[in-house]
A = this chain, B = another copy of it.
Amino acid sequence: MNIGFIGLGLMGRPMALHLAEAGHTLHLWARRPASLQPFSDSGAHAHLSAAEVARHAEIIFTMVADAPDVAAVTLGDDGITAGAQPGLIVVDMSTIAPAAARDIAARLERARIEFLDAPVSGGEIGAINATLTIMVGGRADVFDKVKPLFDKLGKSATLIGGCGAGQVAKACNQILTGVGVAAVAEAFNFARKSGVDPARVREALLGGFAYSKILENHGQRMLDRNFQPGFKAWMHQKDMRIVMEEAHRLGLALPSAAATAQMFNAMVGSGLGDDDSIAMLKLLESMSGQQA
């Protein structure tokens, strides 16, 4: 199949390579030519614009930073709409606001282009190992067409609902993981400041209702003081901004998510933005007179 892929960063590059390895012909466009380098032996075609990619592809994946990038690549000058063939499917795997996804979907529909929002969780490791969790919004018949390709990228792809539902599920994921990191960091700092070994607390709590993947995995990395990303704090900050803007739009109070969003703001302000999100522990320590 002729597949377009636009957005060849930390996440997009390994994802596109999985599709090439599965025997598909890739059509690529990248702002920086260096991004195309890893594809030199893959039989991929480089193009001069997203429109040019659209002239050659049946399905185009996008994996970019935020909603304005998705809009530019799809609807902008020399964007996908400028070159799309009838029946083209655009699958946006970026994390953007649900409202933005619905808006882009509606504008693509007027150009007779099908759209799925399909954000992922699992991070760079998940992209490399093809173990991403893919949360999809859109029409079931379109989802069914793309499903075999999703299966090359992740361990599970779930159709959550209509347009934007994938982004809603991703927002829920970012609430649960962000607040989860905050709760574990607060508990560990509480234990340590109380003179109690957080490692023993974690061990005792893993067997009960306090168990979470965050306590097990991220908690161990906090104890190891391994703050290498993983998932950078500034990216989680961005995702919490999407959550809080959507909450504002909907008239919805999210108290624990709001407190956590503020903590991510403080992490970025404290120079911890490029650390993993678990460096929230360092922020809490710096706020309570405990330096690492």
The 6 closest A-B pairs by CB, nearest first: A212-B212, A179-B183, A172-B187, A176-B210, A158-B204, A255-B259
Q: Which of A7-15, A24-32, A162-170 contacts B (4 or more CB under 8 A)?
A: A162-170
Query: Is A183 within 8 A of B213, CB to CB?
Result: no
Q: A168-B201, A190-B247 are in contact. Are A180 and B210 (CB under 8 A)?
A: yes
Supplied contacts A133-B207, A173-B208, 12 more A-B pairs, CB within 8 Å: A121-B208, A135-B201, A169-B191, A173-B205, A173-B209, A175-B186, A176-B215, A177-B209, A177-B210, A190-B250, A193-B252, A255-B260
Q: Which of A50-58, A70-78, A105-113, A283-291 contacts B (4 or more CB under 8 A)?
A: A283-291
Q: A168-B196, A176-B183 are in contact. Are A155 and B207 (CB under 8 A)?
A: yes
Residue of B nearest to A120 (CB): B208
Query: Is A205 within 8 A of B255, CB to CB?
Result: no
Q: Is the interface of A mostly helix, strand, loop or mixed?
A: helix
Chain B residues with CB below 8 A from A209, complex form: 121-122, 173, 177, 213-214, 217-218
6 inter-chain pairs at a CB distance below 8 angstroms, sorted by A residue, are A165-B196, A176-B210, A177-B210, A180-B180, A193-B252, A255-B260
Give CA–CA (A251, B284) in the complex, Å. 11
Q: Is A228 an interface residue (CB 8 A)?
A: no
Chain B residues with CB below 8 A from A201, complex form: 135, 160, 168-169, 172
Residue of B nearest to A247 (CB): B190
Residue of B nearest to A210 (CB): B176
Most chain B CB within a 10 A radius of its CB, from A156, A164, A214, A254: A254
